[in-house]
Amino acid sequence: MLIFLEKRKFIIGTFDYVINFLLAKSKQSLHSKIVLPCSLHDLAMQNNKNYQSFYENIDYCTNDSMLLTNYLCHKYKKQIERVYGPELMLEILNKSQKVFSKPKHYFLAPNKKNMIAIKNWYQKKYPKIHAFFDFLPLNIDKQQEYLYLQKIILKKPKIIWVGIGSPKQLELASWLKKHSKNTLIICVGAAFDFISGNKKQAPQWIRKNNLEWFFRLLTEPKRLWRRYLVVIPKYLVSLIWKNL
């Protein structure tokens, strides 16, 4: 099922339905598509005039938030499951072997440590499926950045994984979408860190009980305090106010 939520096109339903929908669309379309497992932080950031154009370039969103998932279940009275970025990534990596004759993945990481971790994990898990790995150096100018992205396009991957965090990953994905064909560009934020074991992931019971934000705040307070204590609460208050 496709719905529009906060101006974005969301695929909602069971986890398997969403994964199969994305793979089918990727196989059918000649145009590149951007997919974002969408968090409350993304919904809060999308109206920022500095990032609005990047969010407008997204083709499909999934509900990467238990609070959002519970809201959608209540509103549509049907089975809707959370499509969590790391889980989406693992499932598409597994299923792409059956869907595409020669799946080719490209992983764009935020730094060298992250890239090495996801590369080591991937080569142990999928030794027979070819993939490319790179990271985006800090403090490079736009021209150098575009040269890095051009390297990705020249490899002609079927699926590009951008694990850099929003809104930067959406800026990169927008450029990649414009300059590529028939490519699925999936922005998965911290998924590389969680999957490779680079960062501790919240236990399943914490994720299911809407407490993942608190776990992440405790593990990375300096980086995430503003997101969870200012940006998202401000967005939720404004949303409630608009719907009174």
Instruction: Verify that 90 and 153 share a domain, yes or no.
Output: yes
5: exposed, middle or buried (Cβ count in 10 Å: 0-12, 13-18, 19+): middle
Task: Please give the pLDDT value at position 31.
Answer: 86
Task: Please give the pLDDT value at position 173.
Answer: 95
Q: Is 208 helix (H, G, I), strand (E, B) or coil?
A: helix
Instruction: Verify that 221 and 166 share a domain, yes or no.
Output: no
Across the chain, mean pLDDT equals: 90
Beta strand 2-5 pairing with 8-11: antiparallel
**Distance in angstroms (rounded) separating the CA atoms of residues 23 and 13:** 15
Instruction: Verify that 238 and 164 share a domain, yes or no.
Output: no
Rg (CA), the chain: 17
Residue identified by tokens 């993304």 is 42
Share of the chain above pLDDT 90, in %: 62
Instruction: Verify that 230 and 132 share a domain, yes or no.
Output: no
Q: Is 158 helix (H, G, I), strand (E, B) or coil?
A: coil
Task: Please give the pLDDT value at position 154.
Answer: 92
Tell me the pLDDT band of 69, cut-offs 50, 70 and 90. very high
Res 153 pLDDT > 70: yes
b/e sequence 205-230, b meaning 16+ C-beta within 10 Å? ebbeeeebbeebeeeeeeebeebbee
Tell me the pLDDT band of 128, cut-offs 50, 70 and 90. confident
Tell me the pLDDT band of 244, cut-offs 50, 70 and 90. low
Task: Report which of residues 128 and 34 the model is more confident about.
Answer: 34
151-155: average pLDDT: 92
Tell me the pLDDT band of 101, cut-offs 50, 70 and 90. low
Q: Looking at residue 187, which CATH number applies to its domain?
A: 3.40.50
Give CA angle at 23 (122, 183), nearest 5°. 75
Domain count of the fold of the chain:
2
Residue identified by tokens 């920022």 is 48
Task: Please give the pLDDT value at position 243.
Answer: 65
Task: Please give the pLDDT value at position 233.
Answer: 93
Contacts of residues 13-18 at CB distance under 8 Å and 24 or more positions apart, as own/partner, are 13/78, 13/79, 13/80, 13/81, 14/79, 14/80, 14/81, 15/81, 15/82, 15/83, 15/87, 15/91, 18/62, 18/81, 18/83, 18/88
> Whole domain around residue 176: which residue ranges?
2-201
Instruction: Verify that 178 and 234 share a domain, yes or no.
Output: no
With CA atoms as reference, report the closest residue to 190 among 166, 218, 226.
166
- pLDDT tens column, 191-243: 999 999 888 889 999 998 889 999 999 999 999 999 999 999 999 998 878 76
Share of the chain above pLDDT 70, in %: 97
Res 129 pLDDT > 90: no
Instruction: Verify that 195 and 94 share a domain, yes or no.
Output: yes
Give CA angle at 29 (23, 34), nearest 5°. 65
Instruction: Verify that 130 and 219 share a domain, yes or no.
Output: no
Instruction: Verify that 187 and 135 share a domain, yes or no.
Output: yes
Res 33 pLDDT > 90: yes
